Amino acid sequence: MITIDGSYNEGGGQIIRTALALSTITKKPFKAENIRQGRPKSGLKSQHLHCIKALEELCNAKTEGATLGSESITYIPGKLQGKTLNIDIGTAGSISLFLQAILIPCILAEKKSIINIKGGTDGKWAIPFDYFNNIILPQIKKYTNKIEARILKRGYYPKGGGEIEIKISPRFNIENKHNAPQINLQNQGEILLIKGISHASINLEAPKVADRQANSAELSLAKLKCPIAIQKAYYNTACPGSGIVLWALCGDKELNDINPVILGGDALGERYKKSENVGKEAADILFKELESKAPVDNHTADNLIPFLALFGGTINVSKITKHTLTNIYVCEKFLGKIFKVEGNNIKTFINKA
């Protein structure tokens, strides 16, 4: 049985989510210890338990220690099947983080999966759902016959109440994954277009919060001298909130459909934080990512690591983060030594024959 140190590199919940995903598809059981040690509150959180519950349904997994606050868990996967699942994470637990545990198993399942998830769409310390949907999802479409996600209701911290639906029709499975294309993102190219969505709760429509966030972002990005299209939207939500996600589409004259170059930046609104500052913050983050000349931003990088581990490839990233190194650590626990990191270049050594 594989043993994983849940405190590795400051021990975030990402270790557990990635381990659950890879254990499920490789059918290798694991035991994780010292879960989230080094964090203010160690042990499993509610969102991790919902990941485990979903995988118990997807692959009839058996678990020990799957209780709130547990610092040790044993996970034994069963046969993977695609299913229709309804998951309520509760309050503002991140939907995007939840997807890190179940996305790969659903992509490599034998049948189509339809998953309805309730929780938080926009919160601190997690990529917003719009970021997942417009920056990360385009990178993994090539591993499915069809994958589509849509937001049904937006949910801000602290009450959450958001809801999304994702449908996944598999193209490959664990036996024939060697036929799948690799991820090859080495050059940024030129900026073709910047898109985005600036959003806020309906009670912030009168002061035009979403509009002000978008206008500020557009003003900050005007120096790039490229087309900019930022959608403004207001939503009925359980509690007030706002945010903005921006993404730059890059390439050599046109976007590559197989390995699209899309870099992102985002920011959340907070009480007493000017809407103009929210928009500028997201724009500054995106500008810094573009300035690196890398085709992969630092948040997308760690989310791509499990896909690189399974399908192979090479990426150049703007920054090697602790999250990226943590995911490499977990992937190599299940798949052996397959990564080589030199500077900001990450490559895999996988026999595709």
As for how many domains the chain has, the answer is: 2
How far is it, in rounded angstroms, from Cα 39 to Cα 265? Answer: 26
- Give domain status of residue 304, yes or no: no
Query: What stretch of H or E contains 332?
Result: helix 322-335
- The single residue of 48, 50, 299, 323 carrying the catalytic annotation is 323
Tokens 């900001």 correspond to 344
Identify the segments of the chain with pLDDT beneath 70. 11, 350-353
CATH number for the domain that contains residue 10: 3.65.10.20
Q: What would the pLDDT profile of 78-122 be if each residue is shown by its tens digit?
A: 999 889 999 999 888 999 999 999 999 999 998 999 999 999 999
The confidence score (pLDDT) of residue 116 equals 97
Domain containing 235: what range? 187-291
Q: What pairs with residue 268 in β-bridges?
A: 243
The confidence score (pLDDT) of residue 173 equals 87
Domain end, chosen from 234, 266, 291, is at 291
13 and 159 in one domain? yes
* 58 Rama class: left (phi>0) / alpha (psi -120 to 50) / beta: alpha
236 and 124 in one domain? no
The confidence score (pLDDT) of residue 10 equals 72
Nearest to 284 by CA among 344, 200, 219, 226: 219
How far is it, in rounded angstroms, from Cα 130 to Cα 148? Answer: 13
How far is it, in rounded angstroms, from Cα 112 to Cα 123? Answer: 29
Q: Which pair of tokens denotes residue 171?
A: 């193209």
How far is it, in rounded angstroms, from Cα 173 to Cα 25? Answer: 9
Nearest to 286 by CA among 253, 245, 321: 245
The confidence score (pLDDT) of residue 271 equals 92
323 in catalytic set: yes
Domain end, chosen from 248, 276, 291, is at 291
163 and 60 in one domain? yes
